[in-house]
Structure 1
Amino acid sequence: MLKLDLACTVTVDQVRIAVPGGATVAAAIAAAGTLCTRRSVTGQPRFALCGIGHCQECRVTIDGKPHQLACRTRCRDGMEIATGGEA
């Protein structure tokens, strides 16, 4: 069973937030106040759609590594998350 009692601090687009340990990166992004993980080729905002990694709409950069799936990645203390939310 996954325990969610220990909080960790992550940074989403240069904003530090505390999230429950074991929370997904997609949940941390939503908790940071944004529902945009990336932009389409036409500039439209995208966010996690399927929640299981199939659609790949939730791709973000985590600790400098691009194209990570936010819905399938668990937060860990000190993680740096960059989205494509800026227009």
Structure 2
Amino acid sequence: MRPISVQVRGLLGREEIERYNDLWEVGKFLESEGRFDLARKIQREIDLLAEPAVEKLMRYENRTGQAPVVAAPVIIDNRKSDKENN
């Protein structure tokens, strides 16, 4: 079973999360029993459930004309300057 990312899970509603968790448990059980044929079908259902959230996340990440999310690094120099040394 392939889990969906935390970012995608964050975009799911309460009912979708509950459905995902239930499908995940069933899929893990089927894998433990060696029923990979049925686990594959459960994985497909999980993929279908997550598809709208994945598309929404991709639209969010591919925005153009927006300010960058990550700020420039700030350098803090705590050394004494030459004026303070004299």
TM (norm. structure 2) is 0.23
Output the TM-score relative to the length of structure 1: 0.23
Higher helix share: 2
Of structures 1 and 2, the larger Rg is shown by: 2
